[in-house]
Amino acid sequence: MTVLTFPWERPPLNANQRLHRAAKAQKTRMVRDAARIAARTLLPSASHITVQLVWVVTDRRRRDSDNIYPTFKAMCDGLVDAGIVPDDTPEYMNKLGPIIRYERGGTARLELVVGA
């Protein structure tokens, strides 16, 4: 299992945002590129992978893990862009639902957990 860590305190994309299409495209490209670059340096190519997005938070405010799917989707696309797998369909990628994990005194961040 490999953990790709991103220094974002909040997911850059969420289901509640109402962005202009150009602003959304710019954020999506940024997330995809970050995942692509991280994956190229840390992950080998594979025939099938399992991925999960973990949002590490430092307080106990209520959050909905469903809202971070747009960031998760862009990250999965970045793994495909890096050539880790040919596509993000179930044939090549098993996507576990995103989770939110509380870490007291930690640093807020996003982690993309990738396993074989």
Q: What is the C-alpha to C-alpha distance for residues 37 and 12, in angstroms, rounded to an integer?
A: 17
Q: Is 2-115 assigned to CATH 3.40.50?
A: no
Half-sphere exposure of 14 (CA within 13 A, CB side): 15
State yes or no: pLDDT of 116 exceeds 90.
no
* DSSP string across 45-111: --S-EEEEEEEEESS-----GGGGHHHHHHHHHHHHHTTSSS-SSTTTEEEPPPEEEE-TT---EEE
State yes or no: pLDDT of 35 exceeds 90.
yes
For the chain, give every domain's residue range: 2-115
Predicted confidence (pLDDT) per residue in 54-67, tens digit: 999 999 999 999 99
Q: Which two tokens stand for residue 47?
A: 């025939």
Q: What is the C-alpha to C-alpha distance for residues 13 and 11, in angstroms, rounded to an integer?
A: 5
Q: Which helix or strand (DSSP H or E) is residue 31 part of?
A: helix 21-42
pLDDT at 78: 98
Span 69-87, mean pLDDT? Answer: 98
User: What's the whole-model pTM score?
Assistant: 0.94
The answer to whether residues 55 and 98 touch, using CB atoms and an 8 Å cutoff, is yes
